[in-house]
Amino acid sequence: MGIVERMAVPMRPRLERRELRDVALGQFVLLTESANQGTSTLSLGLRTQTPVEGQDPVDGLIHLESGKFEWLAPKSLLTVVDSCELVPDISKATIRNPRSGDLILYAAAPQIYVTELHNGAHGVFDLKTGVAVGHHVLGAHVVMQWSVIDVLERTIFRFEPDTGGAWAFGSL
């Protein structure tokens, strides 16, 4: 049972604590990152898994700011963020070599460029399947800025990788 079911006051987006194994692939999760001098910052991630040749897939998260994969145990607790969607900003699309965390068009589909998968390989996070797969993504690709919005409240959490990975919060 998540925290929302026990709350007397409705909240959007809905936040719920779940074990990793109970979180769907591609689901948004709230992450806390340790910073200097005992402080923490908040960021967003996506639940994923990545295949390993001859073994079961490795479960974990893609950190949206850095585009890096983090392995997690199945019983790890996560804070799931409900009702959010990733929205590309096509008006700011460019063609260049991708950097970690970029939304790119790869194999005719939008995907997030990922570095440091479980085996140190680079690859892509497939938005359709929620799976991160190692690929050699060579050369220039269509790269777009993107935002995460709460579709019910129309609140926007914009990630701007070209500004040093800053998050901006506001309303649509």
pLDDT tens digit string along 66-123? 788 888 888 999 989 887 888 888 898 999 999 888 899 887 788 988 877 766 788 8
Average pLDDT over residues 18-39: 80
Q: Report the candidate in 163, 172, 170 with the shortest Cα–Cα distance to residue 65.
A: 163
Give the pLDDT score at 147.
81
The whole-angstrom separation of Cα 118 and Cα 1 is: 31
Q: Between 90 and 4, whose confidence is greater?
A: 90
Rounded to 5 degrees, φ, ψ at 45 are -140, 175
Give the pLDDT score at 155.
63
User: pTM score, two decimals?
Assistant: 0.77
Residue 21 near residue 35, CB atoms below 8 Å:
no
Give the pLDDT score at 1.
44
Q: Report the candidate in 165, 169, 160, 154 with the shortest Cα–Cα distance to residue 12.
A: 154
